[in-house]
């Protein structure tokens, strides 16, 4: 059987996630499912390929799944730790991109600033994959909706409630969910809503996909009869100085047993992890049978393998 992506016309880069059309996401999910069911078919699909991982922030799931992913496809990962010195300090971002493109076949970058990833993509002739920035987390959102499709079989009209900070994960859920025709209710404290430009883009996409986008401030309103309830940390990496203030503001937005009880009887809980137990979510919810957090984490591997095949294959 061919190990090349099946009828997938991939974009050059995955910088925001908005590069993917609905059809491309559907093909990516089809490939992810085949990789998950038949990993042996893809053991040498990227033999001889090298992938550079450039990380300005800590990582567990993203780093491990990309390293294991490329290795299980027959390729090799090279990890570049930039947690001490950010990209652009020792040498310019364009110079980093122009050097790496001579040695490797793709770049995976986790950066503080979205502009850094965009600069890498602008100056590298090889694919650049956003592994999380301050603005987007496309690999996470793709794995999340793949997980939901596994569970519910159909994403069109699926009611997903996101409760918490209107952050990078929220932005990517909005864009990917809009492409797939989901109904997204976002509940944040006032002043912590997702970026207005991202919301406008999601609503523009939703006009064609029949998705629904609601920006709310009442977590109970968002969660009522939702089929999936999602939350994330209240202070993302780089916002540690705001932790104490945010804990007070976001306390009413904790996903606990009482809030989850408002969701549909078959509702599931999602979290991109790491989770701060007792803050944005209780241990009772996180460890409950309704929680799909570890399925999400596993599916990061399968979806990212599909992304690597599509962009590097």
User: Quick count: other Cβ atoms within 10 Å of Cβ 201?
Assistant: 17
Angle at 138 between CA 164 and CA 194, to 5 degrees: 35
Confidence at residue 8, expressed as pLDDT on a 0 to 100 scale: 62
CATH topology of domain 140-296: Rossmann fold (3.40.50)
Q: Is the sign of the CA dihedral 156, 217, 17, 111 positive or negative?
A: negative
Q: What is the mean pLDDT of residues 13-20?
A: 97
Query: For residues 259-272, b (16+ Cβ closer than 10 Å) or e, as one string?
Result: bbebbeeebbbbbb
- Fill in the DSSP letter of residue 87: T
Contact 151, 143 (CB under 8 A): no
Quick one: tokens of 292? 């799909």
Look up residue 19 and give its DSSP letter: T
What residue spans of the chain are helical by DSSP H?
Answer: 22-37, 61-72, 93-100, 114-123, 138-152, 168-179, 196-209, 219-223, 243-250, 257-260, 283-286, 293-312
Give the number of residues written for the chain.
313
Which CATH number is 22-136+298-312's, of 3.40.50.1370, 3.40.50.1220, 2.40.30.10, 3.50.50.60? 3.40.50.1370
Phi and psi, residue 243, nearest 5°:
-55, -50
Whole-model pTM? 0.95
The residues carrying an active-site annotation are: 110, 137, 140, 232, 272, 300
Domain map of the chain by residue range?
22-136+298-312, 140-296
pLDDT digit string (tens) for 224-263?
999 999 999 998 877 888 889 999 999 999 999 999 999 9
Q: Note the pLDDT of residue 306.
A: 98
* Cα–Cα distance, 91 to 86 (Å, whole number): 10
Q: CA–CA distance from 261 to each of 270, 273, 294 (Å)?
A: 15, 22, 21
The model's pLDDT over 108-166, given as tens digits with 9 standing for 90+, comes to 999 999 999 999 999 999 999 999 999 999 999 999 999 999 999 999 999 999 999 99
Domains 22-136+298-312 and 140-296 agree in fold: yes
């Amino acid at each position: 059987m061919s190990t090349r992506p099946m009828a997938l016309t991939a974009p050059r880069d995955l910088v925001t996630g908005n590069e993917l059309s609905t059809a491309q996401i559907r093909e990516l999910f089809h490939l992810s499912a085949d990789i998950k069911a038949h990993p042996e078919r893809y053991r040498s699909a990227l033999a001889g390929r090298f992938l550079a991982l450039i990380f300005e922030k800590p990582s567990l799931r993203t780093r491990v799944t990309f390293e294991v992913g490329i290795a299980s496809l027959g390729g090799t990962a090279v990890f570049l730790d930039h947690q001490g010195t950010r990209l652009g300090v020792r040498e310019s971002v364009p110079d980093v991109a122009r050097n790496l493109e001579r040695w490797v076949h793709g770049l995976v970058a986790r950066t503080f600033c979205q502009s850094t990833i965009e600069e890498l993509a602008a100056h590298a002739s090889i694919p650049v994959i956003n592994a999380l920035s301050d603005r987007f987390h496309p690999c996470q959102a793709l794995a999340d909706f793949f997980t939901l499709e596994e569970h519910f079989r159909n994403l069109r009209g699926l009611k997903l409630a996101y409760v918490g900070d209107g952050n990078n994960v929220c932005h990517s859920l909005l864009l990917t969910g809009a492409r797939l025709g989901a109904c997204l209710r976002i509940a944040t404290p006032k002043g912590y809503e997702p970026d207005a430009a991202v919301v406008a883009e999601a609503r523009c996409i939703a006009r064609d996909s029949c998705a629904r986008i609601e920006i709310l401030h009442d977590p109970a309103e968002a969660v009522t009869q939702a089929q999936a309830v999602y939350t994330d940390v209240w202070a993302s990496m780089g916002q540690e100085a705001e932790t104490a203030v945010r804990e007070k503001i976001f306390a009413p937005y904790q996903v606990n047993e009482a809030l989850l009880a408002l969701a549909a009887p078959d509702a599931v809980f999602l979290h991109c992890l790491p989770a701060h137990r007792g803050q944005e979510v209780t241990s009772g919810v996180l460890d409950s049978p309704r929680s799909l957090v570890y399925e999400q984490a596993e599916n990061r591997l399968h979806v990212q393998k599909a992304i690597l095949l599509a962009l590097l294959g």
